[in-house]
Amino acid sequence: MRLKLVRENTSIDFFSRARIWLGISMVAMVIACASFMLQGLNYGIDFQGGTSIRTQSEQPVDVAVYRAALDPLALGDISIAEVFDPSFEEDQHVALVRIQAQEGDERIASETIQAVQAALQSIDPNMSFPSVESVGPKVSGELIQTAVIAVALAVVAILLYIWLRFEWQFAIGAVLALSHDVILTIGIFSELQIKFDLAIIAALLTIVGYSINDTVIVFDRVRENLRKYKRKDLKEVLNISINETLSRTLMTSVTTLLALIALFVLGGDVIRGFVFAMIWGVIIGTYSSIFVASAILLVLGVKRDWSKKDPSAGTKYGHIDT
């Protein structure tokens, strides 16, 4: 007995309210852009600058205890993560403490670092600090610029790939759907003021790849059905194509979400922002593959001349006597 998320021979009309779906997406994008412009993002240490201190102790790392010891210093955003490595000995417990750059300072003062070390040594007097590294505002600014370029180049590369593989209408639909996913992801982080760091940039790039994978599968089926149903209008072909790939799309999304939800619940605070971005991205990516990319393709239209076989195919040497 097989699990079926979608019954066979589905015939859902996804485009009876295509303008409503596009309107909802446009309103959501406007809200996301407005939130970003009005309150911005809650940048993490990677983008604000700061200092990372590596600690080593014989006592097990307790993130809550470390944070309680540092809270009285009022240093703002502090990230604490235990470091795991198979090469560590049993009594070797390592943590990475990251502190955001203080307002008006190029880098954290040595007195502040000493105060942090003293607070941590109150937990374990034998605690050592193998390394202390600082990231200045200039470097963090360069990281922001590099992150924006990375996402932009990924979208441009996908545009060229879809354009070469399909037609320009498919490329425009795919890229607008990807832009929709990225903007709404940035918007939810701005609205909820969740910490935005390099891990979220990695999540954005992963979301772009996941979303385009779904979109290409739908577009491949659309191209096949345009050749198969030459007399059906584009709206009907799109509906048939989405219904035929709906089971695969939902099964992929649900199984991915099961793993992500488990990571979100059990993975700890260090990766929670990344996993949240992935969960949101999978949901939005699935939505955009079905309702946004295909709806834009319907609006732009597709010429079917490219799908017709060349009448001279296979007759290039027909005039030669055998």
pTM: 0.72
pLDDT in tens, 32-54: 999 999 988 887 777 777 788 88
- How far apart CA 77 and CA 44 sit, in angstroms, is 7
- How far apart CA 272 and CA 308 sit, in angstroms, is 50
Backbone angles phi, psi at 239, to 5 degrees: -60, -45
pLDDT in tens, 110-125: 778 888 888 888 888 8
Please report whether residue 271 resides in a domain: yes
Tell me what the mean pLDDT of segment 150-179 comes to.
82
241 and 127 co-located in one domain: no
| Token pair in block for residue 228 | 């198969």
168 and 261 co-located in one domain: yes
144 and 89 co-located in one domain: no
Residue range of the domain that includes 208? 18-42+139-303
Please report whether residue 28 resides in a domain: yes
181 and 298 co-located in one domain: yes
* Confidence at residue 32, expressed as pLDDT on a 0 to 100 scale: 92
* Confidence at residue 136, expressed as pLDDT on a 0 to 100 scale: 64
How high does pLDDT run on average in the chain? 79
Backbone angles phi, psi at 169, to 5 degrees: -65, -40
Helical residues (DSSP H) of the chain, grouped into ranges: 18-39, 45-48, 63-70, 110-121, 137-165, 168-192, 198-228, 234-266, 272-287, 293-300
163 and 109 co-located in one domain: no
CATH number, domain containing residue 113: 3.30.70.2040
289 and 145 co-located in one domain: yes
261 and 160 co-located in one domain: yes
73 and 115 co-located in one domain: yes
234 and 260 co-located in one domain: yes
Count of domains forming the chain? 2
pLDDT band at 31 (very low <50, low <70, confident <90, very high): very high
Nearest to 159 by CA among 212, 221, 121, 105: 212
